[in-house]
C-alpha cells in the first residue's frame, strides 16, 4: 500500500482542478491511500472512500515565499502535507504550490538521506525517442554547486534512471558548453575528473544543451542555475513554436482545412513534447518521495504528478538511494 500526502491548495488553477486529477488517479489505482490537505467541506463532497484521508486546512503558501517566511506558516496545507509525511510515516508528498516553499519545507522537514550532502531537484524531460525520458538535475534548488555536489547529483540520477526506467547502466553526462574534456567553468571541469574516477557510474563525458533531448543521455548533471536556464529556455522555445504553429493553422479557411488533414500527426507530435505527461519535478536524496507538480497543473498534469510519486514509491526509490549512499 502506497501512502501519499497531497497538498491541494495554492496552485494556479485552484483546488477543484487538482481534485479532478486525484479522482482520476483513484479510479486507476487500488493499492493507495491519499492524505488530502485542503477544504474539508469541498473534499467531502467529492470523496467517500477509505482510500482518502481528509485533513482540513484553509491557508496556503503564496507562490513567492522566503525560506524563513515559510517556516512560520505551520497552518498551511503545504506545511501540513510535508510534516504529516514524516509524522504519519507516509511514502511521499505531492504539491502544485510554491516551488520555493516546497523545496524549503521538504529540505528542512524531510531532510537529506544520510550520506547525501546535497539533494537534487530533478526534471524528467522528454526526448525525441518516443517514450524515452532524460533526468536533468539540479534544475534550480541550488544557485551554485561544487564538483562534489555535481557528483552527488549524478549518483542520485543514476539510481533514478536504474529504478524508474529499468536501465542497467544509465548514460550519465555533464551539461557543458562543449563536449571536450577541459571545457567549462571550474566546477564542471573538476566534476568531470570526479565522475571519471567513479566506477559505479557509466559516465559519458560532456553534453551540449542542444543534444540533451536527442535520447542518448539518461541523466544530465548540471549546477542549479544553468539547469534552471536550460529548462526554461527549452520550455520557452517549445511554447513559442506551438504558438506560431497554431497561428499558422488559424490563418485562413484553407489552413484550417489543412489542420483537419494533419491533426492526428500534430497531436502525436504535441504528445511527444507534452510535458504535462511528466507531471512535474522531483527532489532526489530526501528521506521521502517528493514531487513538485507544475504550478499551473490541470487535472491531467496533476494525475501524472501523483503517478510519478506513486511509481517512485512503488520501486522503493528512497530505499534504493539510501543503499547507494550507505
Cell numbers for 239? 511554447
Q: Does 64 bind a second copy (CB under 8 A)?
A: yes
Q: Does 268 bind a second copy (CB under 8 A)?
A: yes
Nearer to a second copy by Cβ, of 88 and 237: the residue is 237
| Binders of a second copy in range 144-163 (CB under 8 A) | 144
Stretch near a second copy under the rule CB under 8 A, chosen from 101-109, 151-159, 235-243, 307-315: 235-243
Q: Note whether 225 and 143 are within 8 A (CB).
A: yes
Q: Note whether 148 and 325 are within 8 A (CB).
A: no
Minimal distance, residue 189 CB to a second copy, in Å: 9
Stretch near a second copy under the rule CB under 8 A, chosen from 15-23, 164-172, 258-266, 284-292: 258-266
d(CA 241, CA 22): 31
Out of 89, 168, 180, 199, the residue judged to bind a second copy by CB under 8 A: 180
Minimal distance, residue 106 CB to a second copy, in Å: 18
Out of 58, 193, 200, 240, the residue judged to bind a second copy by CB under 8 A: 240
- CA–chain centroid gap for 158, Å, is 15
Nearer to a second copy by Cβ, of 146 and 258: the residue is 258
Q: What is the 3-class SS of 7-54, one letter each residue?
A: ECCCCCCCHHHHHHHHHHHHHHCCCEEEEEEECHHHHHHHCCCCCEEE
Nearer to a second copy by Cβ, of 30 and 180: the residue is 180
Out of 190, 202, 258, 274, the residue judged to bind a second copy by CB under 8 A: 258
- CA–chain centroid gap for 133, Å, is 12
Out of 72, 248, 319, 323, the residue judged to bind a second copy by CB under 8 A: 248
Q: To which residue does cell 494533419 refer?
A: 262
Phi, psi of 112 (to 5 degrees): -65, 145
d(CA 311, CA 200): 24
Strands 289-293 and 280-284: antiparallel
Nearer to a second copy by Cβ, of 295 and 322: the residue is 295
Q: Does 196 bind a second copy (CB under 8 A)?
A: no
Q: How far apart are the first and last CA of the chain?
A: 26
Q: Which residues sit at the interface with a second copy, rule CB under 8 A?
A: 64, 128, 140, 143-144, 175, 177, 180, 184-186, 208-213, 222, 224-226, 228-241, 243-245, 247-249, 251, 254-255, 257-262, 265-266, 268-269, 272-273
Amino acid at each position: 500500500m502506497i501512502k501519499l500526502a497531497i497538498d491541494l491548495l495554492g496552485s494556479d488553477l485552484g483546488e477543484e482542478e487538482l481534485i479532478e486529477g486525484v479522482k482520476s488517479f483513484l479510479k486507476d489505482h487500488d493499492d493507495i491511500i491519499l492524505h488530502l490537505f485542503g477544504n474539508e467541506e469541498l473534499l467531502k463532497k467529492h470523496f467517500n472512500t477509505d482510500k482518502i484521508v481528509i485533513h482540513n486546512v484553509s491557508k496556503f503558501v503564496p507562490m513567492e515565499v522566503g525560506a524563513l517566511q515559510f517556516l512560520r506558516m505551520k497552518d498551511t496545507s503545504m506545511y501540513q502535507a510535508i510534516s504529516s509525511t514524516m509524522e504519519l510515516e507516509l511514502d511521499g508528498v505531492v504539491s502544485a504550490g510554491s516551488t520555493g516553499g516546497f523545496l524549503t519545507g521538504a529540505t528542512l522537514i524531510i531532510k537529506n538521506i544520510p550520506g547525501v550532502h546535497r539533494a537534487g531537484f530533478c526534471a524528467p524531460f522528454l526526448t525525441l525517442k518516443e517514450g524515452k525520458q532524460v533526468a536533468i538535475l539540479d534544475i534550480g534548488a541550488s544557485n551554485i554547486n561544487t564538483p562534489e555536489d555535481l557528483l552527488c547529483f549524478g549518483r542520485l540520477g543514476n539510481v533514478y534512471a536504474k529504478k524508474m526506467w529499468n536501465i542497467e547502466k544509465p548514460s550519465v553526462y555533464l551539461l557543458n558548453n562543449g563536449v571536450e574534456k577541459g571545457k567549462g567553468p571550474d566546477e564542471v571541469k573538476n566534476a568531470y575528473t570526479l565522475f571519471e574516477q567513479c566506477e559505479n557510474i557509466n559516465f559519458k563525458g560532456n553534453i551540449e544543451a542542444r543534444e540533451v533531448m536527442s535520447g542518448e543521455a539518461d541523466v544530465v548533471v548540471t549546477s542549479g542555475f544553468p539547469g534552471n536556464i536550460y529548462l526554461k529556455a527549452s520550455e520557452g522555445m517549445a511554447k513559442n513554436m506551438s504558438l506560431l504553429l497554431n497561428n499558422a493553422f488559424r490563418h485562413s479557411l484553407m489552413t484550417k482545412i489543412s489542420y483537419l488533414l494533419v491533426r492526428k500527426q500534430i497531436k502525436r507530435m504535441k504528445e511527444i513534447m507534452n510535458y504535462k505527461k511528466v507531471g512535474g519535478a522531483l527532489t532526489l536524496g530526501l528521506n521521502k518521495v517528493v514531487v513538485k507538480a507544475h504550478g499551473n497543473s490541470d487535472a491531467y498534469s496533476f494525475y501524472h504528478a501523483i503517478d510519478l510519486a506513486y511509481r517512485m514509491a512503488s520501486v522503493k526509490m528512497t530505499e534504493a538511494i539510501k543503499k547507494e549512499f550507505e
